[in-house]
Amino acid sequence: MKFRLWIDALGTGAATGLIAEVLVLRMNPEVPQSMSGVLVGIPLWASWGMLMVGVPLLIGLAIFDRFRPKPDRWLAPQLFTIVFIIAAALTAVNAKLHAMLLSGPAHRVLVQDSVGWGLAALLAFLAAGAVRRFGSARGWRIAFSIVMIALPAIRLATSPTPSRQFLEVEPQPLGEPERKLLVIGLEGLDAKVLLVDAASVSYRHLARFREKGVRAPLTPHRPYLRWALWTSVATGTYPGRHGVKAHRGWDLPLVFSETLRLLPWTPEGSRMILPWDLSKQVPPPPATVAPLWSRLAVSGVTTEVIGWPGSWGEDSSLQVEPGDGTGAGLEPSIRASLEAALEPLPERRSRIWSAIVRDQARVELAVAALDADVKNVWVHLETLSIARRYHEPLRPRHTRERLFLELVMELVDGQLGELLDATDDQTLIAVVSPFGLAPPGYFERMKRLFGAGESWHTSAEGSPDGLFILLGEGVDSGRRVPPINPPDVAPTLCYLLGLPVAQYMEGSVIISAVTPSFLAAHPLRVVD
């Protein structure tokens, strides 16, 4: 095999690996990035790029050269140009996708990187022309490859990733609320479920929320990161402040002293961009902003939080979920119907049944807390989301799935009824779903058609709006308001509880959901 092929292929692979290192560094500006760590990372990512990109490329070039030999075919310029063009496109996609998760300076540098890789592609093209014209010797070509490989390191040295720290908010008292609060996180609820699937008179509790409550579409921030969305709901801030992004973190101690919170999106998955399988998957760092329930708890309000997704550290408000795993608390007829409906659906039976049992235990805990006069109860239910994700009927012929989903809707409606029966007229009740579910797109359909990945019907990726529903005194009953964002939930709850809104909250109070009399009697107050 010709020496030039080795230089061209492995050099291109090394450049690819170093671009990946730059992208990972850009996505985690809160992680201290020491010069020693960066220098250690350079050989790791460069060698990884040589193996993952360079070796396959070398094999392809060798085959191509065998069948179409040419005495002096120099392919490095074309290869580097393609790599930098792909890097520019991938960086631009990540900049757009993660705008809400990165601070202003970090996002700005990521956009600049995209432009920089585009200019690098142009430089590779022009420099190659100059080398061909003025210095065609092997040494000049090797020097060209070295310069191209060094460009990512030069970019990193000349424009280091701006450091960023998350907002740190300890639980501080907000005062005594005027009434009880019940927040129901009903994952998977969207307009389709509420207005179409729940249109039947059989679901009378869902009908009560639909007809008597204030309803607003809840637009999720992108990308879809489940824990990030639920944390935004609870804190009133975006991930760029509260710090919770994915439901996992990654430790790479050879390079980084702290846990990586976010990996860039790539077509084949984010984890593959970390070199040599040296990273360890770990729980993500906890939120740096106190959730609303913690601020109520330190105000002396009795609080229980049951199953709320996110990373909350040692939050004492969180309720450990008991349960025997059998679903003994389910009503016998609905239990028998669900078990029978799941029998012909073996591929997802275990996961769905676990969710059913877990949600029933959560409802029982929440009802017990409300009966014990706990003033602040947050409970998260996910059976609807899991059932819809894998067994929602998308075609008229999907009779089995439709009957199963009707049973799940009956179960969820009954659970909502149990929670409502445990409240009084003075309780402020909120139902939150930060994202809906949508049929798979064409790309996902094609992947499944050829056997790539698991079979499913719906997805939260690219999801439609979720829902936010309010019920209680001061709420303008039956009103439909414009779309809101996840951070709007916490300040709105504060206001309706007669409490001041924390200044650091990035959301807004949904004024259009409140009656004029309540607005007149409760001027908006702001505290730290």
d(CA 442, CA 444): 5
pLDDT value at position 326?
Answer: 60
Do the bridges between strand 249-251 and strand 280-282 make them parallel or antiparallel, or are there none, so unpaired? antiparallel
Q: Look at the alpha carbons of 266, 268, 271, 274 in this order and tell me if their dihedral is positive or negative.
A: negative
Q: Look at the alpha carbons of 3, 8, 9, 11 in this order and tell me if their dihedral is positive or negative.
A: positive
d(CA 475, CA 208): 14
DSSP state of 344: T
Closest CA to 317 of 299, 334, 339: 299
CB 29 within 8 A of CB 106: yes
Amino acid present at 189: L
Tally the residues of the chain. 528
Closest CA to 183 of 421, 466, 376: 376
Would you call 280 helix, strand, or coil by DSSP? strand
pLDDT value at position 448?
Answer: 58
Amino acid present at 139: G
d(CA 479, CA 200): 21
CB 181 within 8 A of CB 493: yes
- Complete domains list, the chain, with CATH: 3-158 (no CATH), 185-250+280-527 (3.40.720.10)
DSSP state of 472: S
CB 269 within 8 A of CB 325: no
Within 10 Å of residue 339's Cβ, how many Cβ atoms? 14
d(CA 303, CA 500): 19
Rg (CA), the chain: 27
Within 10 Å of residue 6's Cβ, how many Cβ atoms? 14
Would you call 221 helix, strand, or coil by DSSP? coil
Per-residue H/E/C for 303-333:
EEEECCCCCCCCCCCEECCCCCCCCCCCCHH
Query: Can you read off the two tokens belonging to residue 282?
Result: 């770990």
d(CA 371, CA 61): 72
Closest CA to 113 of 82, 76, 151: 151
CB 4 within 8 A of CB 141: yes
Does the bond joining 77 to the residue before it have cis omega, within 30 degrees of 0? no
d(CA 289, CA 243): 8
Helical packing angle, 3-27 and 138-158, nearest 10°: 0
d(CA 218, CA 525): 24
pLDDT value at position 32?
Answer: 87
pLDDT value at position 70?
Answer: 62
Closest CA to 389 of 188, 227, 186: 188
pLDDT value at position 391?
Answer: 73
- What separation, in Å, do the N-terminal and C-terminal C-alpha atoms of the chain show? 68
Q: Encode the chain (528 residues) as per-residue pLDDT tens digits.
A: 467 778 888 999 999 999 999 999 999 998 988 888 888 999 999 999 999 999 998 888 888 777 766 655 677 888 899 999 999 999 999 999 898 888 788 899 999 999 999 999 999 888 877 776 666 667 777 888 889 999 998 998 888 888 888 888 888 999 899 899 999 999 989 888 888 777 666 788 898 898 889 999 999 988 888 999 999 999 999 998 999 998 899 999 989 989 999 999 888 777 788 998 889 999 999 999 999 999 999 999 999 999 999 999 888 788 776 655 566 678 888 888 888 887 777 767 888 888 999 999 999 999 999 999 999 999 999 999 988 887 776 655 566 777 888 888 899 999 999 999 999 989 999 999 998 887 766 666 666 565 555 555 556 566 789 999 999 989 988 889 999 999 999 999 999 999 999 999 999 999 999 999 999 999 999 988
pLDDT value at position 416?
Answer: 95
pLDDT value at position 108?
Answer: 93
pLDDT value at position 494?
Answer: 96
CB 386 within 8 A of CB 355: yes
Query: Can you read off the two tokens belonging to residue 123?
Result: 């430089």
